[in-house]
Structure 1
Amino acid sequence: MDRFANIEAFVAVVDTGSFSKAAERLGATKSVVSRRVSLLEKHLGAQLLARTTRSQSLTSAGTQFYQRAVAILAELDEAEQSLETAATELRGKLKVAAPLSFGLRHMTGAVNDFLCAHPAIELDLDLNDREINLVEEGFDMAIRIGELQDSTLIARQLTTIRFATCASQSYIEQHGEPQTPDELPQHVGLHYNNVTLRQAWEFRSEVGSRHATIPGIRFSANNGDVLIAAAAAGLGIITTPTFACADWIADGRLVTILDDYCRKPMHMYAVFPPGRLTPRRVRAFTDFLAGRFGERPYWDEQIGVGN
């Protein structure tokens, strides 16, 4: 009996919530996964999962064993990697999730460079703005921007995300340039609707005073790139992360306004599943991203913000 394979099957069923999803993760059939769990239960002399026709849940014995099983698998992975030295190549699979717009703009080059440097790494990159469940979906890590809602996740800060308020020169010529946020209600706004209006349009001055003033929203979308293109077409004012608009500002398609006021910066994190040792390949990729972006990332240097 392959005890580790059986333990791995059991953990995968608990993590994903079903035998079918566990089979997909492990690259096996559902019947094989079910047989492995049954063999494990027989070996332990205890029922780990209470099964029904529609679902399964941990028994008290299963809950206790799951916690130990996760640690066992993590320690095995760490033990295997500890035999590698700095001179040996990283190898294995990495499954990573990242926000769509950031991923398209800034993960592409990073991933290419990392894979060129480590040819034995296999990378599965999921670019999506939804908040994935790392454990259930089998991700090694995810890139997240903003406040972390799940306090159980292990997190490492990668960089600071700053914001710029922008409009096209044609919009300013037609509608004028607001000098303070209090003038925004007389202007047309473009809104990223994955955040609230207050979150998007609350500004802070250099002296610390707050201004929560909302323009008339003409166009909202759940993708920042669409809104940036609309702003460049003269359709309104946008407040957006500098990682998304730096190129547009640098080549003159957008100009910054309200430079004495800003949205509160956010942070970008690499987050990892809780309760497990982080594999060496995951740590290496995280270190690589932290070094590439840094506290003042290259897109902020490009437009002279964040000094």
Structure 2
Amino acid sequence: MESKSYLPKDHVEVLPCMAAFAVVVESGSFVEASAKIGVTASAVSKQVSKLEQALSLRLIDRTTRSLKVNAEGHQIYKYCKLVLESSANIFRVKDRLIDTPQGIVRMGVPKSLYATCSKMIPKFLSQFRDVNVQLVCGEKFDFVADGIDVGVVVTNRPPEGMVARRLCDVDFVLCASNDYIEKSGPVSHPDELSEHSCIPFIGDLDKQYWKFKSAQENCDVLIPGRYLSDCPEAALTATVAGVGVSCLPLCLAIDAILNKQLTTLLPEWSYRGTLQGTAWIVYQPGQLLSKRIKVLVDYVMSELEKSSRAWVLK
């Protein structure tokens, strides 16, 4: 039988270099890329140099402190990225051929829904004992560079080129404990928040604005933050303890509100922020969706649908 050579040997040898170059572009540095690949930054640099030599093209302009992908590099990157995506598809094929869902699913979740999603995972793990979950908190993810299999995003425009399935609405509510209101007085207009102790969980320590809207007007308030954390659960705990007024995801605060630990404020005003909107579960398109990803997506959709029914103020 006549043998067929699909690729010249020197083309095959630079395949790992193509993958390394794609990771460098997405990571923005050799050091970050080395951490993702699991080799030294020097080794990654040598792989990129080998690719440049094979192509007789300079792809990255380097200095001692930074690197910049040039025009040729951006064109080559489009095809090198396909090498990474093809390798991921190979493992998706393997997963599809296995009857029992198994392996690791890396899931990215925003701060506003992190507590809610984290409560769901133990039950999922008990149902699917061969699936492991890595839950990552953040607002923006690069699915390839960050190795995210499934992401939950809160946006009115789901990302293009991804499968996006609607989960629920994420609303925020202004609230405080009864003890705090008794000591500090009621709030009748957003402007009055500048005279109160407030508990933001995002933003700049020096400049923290809360934006509100009513039927008649918009109001942006620069609030004084006595206690600031990047953790919504920490803000909830401090609010229940009477530290001050907070603006929290309704899904996080609802139990404390229904249990009379917190009182809602300014019900005729709605909070306008970047972390509220419609929540979507998103993942890479294609027919080769692994079973471990499919069962997690279906589970999260079902559980969030049931949970969101309780996120209603009565």
Query: Corresponding residue for 2:16?
Result: 5
Report the Cα offset of residue 111 of structure 1.
3.1
Query: Corresponding residue for 2:120?
Result: 110
Q: 1:302 to 1:151 in 2, by over 3 A?
A: closer
What does 1:154-233 correspond to in 2, within 5 Å?
156=164, 157-174=166-183, 177-178=186-187, 180-181=188-189, 184=192, 188-192=196-200, 194=202, 200-204=210-214, 208-210=215-217, 212=219, 217=224, 219-223=226-230, 224-233=232-241
Q: 1:262 pairs with 270, 273, 296, which one?
A: 270
What does 1:231-250 correspond to in 2, within 5 Å?
231-250=239-258
Contact kept? 2:104, 2:134, Cα under 8 Å: yes
Contact kept? 1:166, 1:257, Cα under 8 Å: yes
Q: 1:68 to 1:136 in 2, by over 3 A?
A: closer
Instruction: Could you tell me which runs of 5 or more consecutive residues in structure 1 were left unpaired when the two chains were aligned.
Output: none
Report the Cα offset of residue 235 of structure 1.
4.3
Q: Match of 2:39, SS? A: coil
Contact kept? 1:75, 1:277, Cα under 8 Å: no
Contact kept? 2:209, 2:223, Cα under 8 Å: no
- Give the counterpart letter for 1:169 in structure 2: N
Q: Match of 1:64, SS? A: helix
Q: 2:136 pairs with 119, 122, 126, which one?
A: 126
Query: Corresponding residue for 2:60?
Result: 49
Query: Corresponding residue for 1:70?
Result: 81
Contact kept? 1:187, 1:215, Cα under 8 Å: no
Q: Match of 2:92, SS? A: helix
Q: 1:216 to 1:45 in 2, by over 3 A?
A: closer
User: Identity rate of aligned residues, in percent?
Assistant: 19
Q: Does 1:37 align with 2:48?
A: yes
Q: Distance in 2 between matches of 1:13 and 1:186?
A: 45
What's the CA shift string for 1:16-46, capped at 9, x where partnerless?
2233322211122334434433443444454
| Deviates most, 61-70 or 219-228 | 219-228
Q: Distance in 2 between matches of 1:15 and 1:202?
A: 37
**TM-score of the superposed pair, with normalisation by structure 1:** 0.71
How many residue pairs get matched? 293
Q: 1:301 to 1:45 in 2, by over 3 A?
A: same
CA RMSD of aligned residues (A): 4.3
Report the Cα offset of residue 246 of structure 1.
1.6
Report the Cα offset of residue 5 of structure 1.
2.5
- Give the counterpart letter for 1:20 in structure 2: V
Q: Distance in 1 between matches of 2:60 and 2:145?
A: 20
Report the Cα offset of residue 67 of structure 1.
0.3
- Give the counterpart letter for 2:270 in structure 1: C
Report the Cα offset of residue 278 of structure 1.
10
Q: 1:19 to 1:51 in 2, by over 3 A?
A: same
Contact kept? 1:189, 1:237, Cα under 8 Å: yes
Query: Corresponding residue for 2:3?
Result: none
Q: 1:138 pairs with 121, 136, 146, which one?
A: 146
Q: Distance in 2 between matches of 1:23 and 1:222?
A: 31
Q: Match of 1:194, SS? A: coil
Q: Match of 1:200, SS? A: strand
Query: Corresponding residue for 2:304?
Result: 293
Query: Corresponding residue for 1:17?
Result: 28
Q: 1:234 to 1:111 in 2, by over 3 A?
A: closer
